Amino acid sequence: MRIGIVGLPNVGKSTLFNALTGAGAEASNYPFCTIDPNTGVVAVPDERLEALASIVKPERVVPPFVEFVDIAGLVKGASRGEGLGNQFLSHIRNVDAVVHVVRCFTDNNVSHVYGSINPVRDAEVIQLELALADLEMVERRLARLEKLIKTGEPRYREEKIILEKLKTGLNQGRPAIEILDPEEQDVLKDVALLTVKPLIYAANVAEEDLPEGEGNSRVEEIREKAAAEGREVIVLCAQLEAEIAELDEEERNSFLLDFGLRESGLNKLIKAAFRLLGLVTFFTTDGPEVKAWTVPFGTKAPRAAGKIHSDFERGFIRAEVIPWQDLVRCKSFAAAREQGLVRLEGKDYVVQEGDVIHFRFHV
């Protein structure tokens, strides 16, 4: 999964990105790779994995990973190639979801491109650029369709109708994800739209506005905007996250408590992204590894097995399934089987959040 971080300059994107990718302990235990300076791979924190590891005592614990991309350079006019322009828009085309950072903190030492703190206005500037970039894609596709329609293929007519609808909506400043239903989005899946990406707002607040930004009217404003769009807002303080990322686990917990936080903003953000993308996590405990896997909501057992190895999908016989809490309580698969807590599921079984699965397959 790839998540792009966008926002105006000086809102705290890089600070957040560095905190995410530098978030020490968990990530550094795993093969951690930095693909380029603006991309980092982060281990997704998951307390269930630790609980499973404590009973299975595997050689390795493998969490899911998320790739974060810091998409700097988005400014007013970017869609016309201003600032670093189009080059950056192309990075957004490759992500699964977008975190839109808005500045809700006041700090006279940190300048703002428009001289005042107004997250709703800032978000609209970015949204407009993305919508304009999409409009350009739509215009280009419509021009190409004129020729294709002459072939008499009905799907090109259908596509044209959807594109016209999209164009009208984009011109009103609405994002593609809101204008098009999922089937229409599917028809246009090769058009590489930006505003079709699922999006979460990250409201970057001052330390004193933690945990939820109550009392900061700017957070309220961005919340209202997000609610109208059906989107989630995660409140965090990027600067504090950067400090938390430097700490070891024990220090981190007491630090969080001092600020009245149950978990770090980064954790909240990553979990929200998982929810947004409709991902389900299941676990395997075979061999030397306890490992977390992510699949889209609604995935059936054979497809889930295929994530592990294509042979598993082809030769799928059955899945032995147990909720992770039950396995942790029983302390072993054998004990859980004796207690009748391990279910045998067939090829139509839909994988559930938190399942531990042992696949049986022909070789």
User: Per CB under 6 A, which region of 41-49, 154-162, 235-243, 307-315 contacts ligand GDP?
Assistant: 235-243
Give the nearer residue to ligand GDP in terms of CB position, either 15 or 185. 15
Give the nearer residue to ligand GDP in terms of CB position, either 196 or 205. 205
Cis amide linkage into residue 182, ω under 30° from 0: no
User: Per CB under 6 A, which region of 2-10, 175-183, 254-262, 307-315 contacts ligand GDP?
Assistant: 2-10
Rg (CA), the chain: 23
Give the nearer residue to ligand GDP in terms of CB position, either 92 or 188. 92
Minimum Å distance from CB 195 to ligand GDP?
20
Task: Give the CA dihedral 302, 329, 264, 17, nearest 10 degrees.
Answer: -30
Tokens of residue 224, six digits: 């209202």
Give the nearer residue to ligand GDP in terms of CB position, either 43 or 104. 104
Integer angstrom CA distances of residue 102 from 7, 86, 236, 286: 6, 21, 11, 43
Please provide residue 289's backbone torsions phi and psi, each rounded to the nearest 5 degrees. Answer: -125, 145
> Using CB under 6 A, which residues numbered 3 to 32 contact ligand GDP?
7, 9-15
- Strands 316-323 and 279-284 turn out to be unpaired
Tokens of residue 171, six digits: 């011109």
User: Per CB under 6 A, which region of 25-33, 40-48, 214-222, 236-244 contacts ligand GDP?
Assistant: 236-244
> Using CB under 6 A, which residues numbered 66 to 125 contact ligand GDP?
72, 105, 107, 110
Asked whether position 245 contacts ligand GDP by CB under 6 A, the answer is no
State the DSSP string of 96-122: SEEEEEEE----TTS--TTSS--HHHH
Among 204, 264, 281, 284, binds ligand GDP (CB under 6 A): 204
> Is residue 15 a contact partner of residue 72, using CB atoms and an 8 Å limit?
no
Q: How far apart are CA 182 and CA 318, in angstroms?
A: 32
Give the nearer residue to ligand GDP in terms of CB position, either 105 or 333. 105
Q: Say if residue 14 carries a ligand binding annotation.
A: yes
Could you give the string, one character per residue 150-189, with x where binding to ligand GDP holds by CB under 6 A and - elsewhere? ----------------------------------------
Residue in 78, 91, 93, 123 with CA at minimum distance from that of residue 195: 93
Among 53, 177, 206, 341, binds ligand GDP (CB under 6 A): 206
Minimum Å distance from CB 108 to ligand GDP?
10
> Using CB under 6 A, which residues numbered 34 to 53 contact ligand GDP?
none
Asked whether position 237 contacts ligand GDP by CB under 6 A, the answer is yes
The alpha carbon dihedral of 224, 230, 236, 238 has a sign of negative
> Starting from the edge strand earliest in sequence, which strands make up the sheet with 2-6, in order?
39-43, 65-70, 2-6, 97-103, 199-204, 233-236
Show binding-site residues for ATP. 10-15
Contacts to ligand GDP by CB under 6 A: 7, 9-15, 72, 105, 107, 110, 204, 206, 237-239
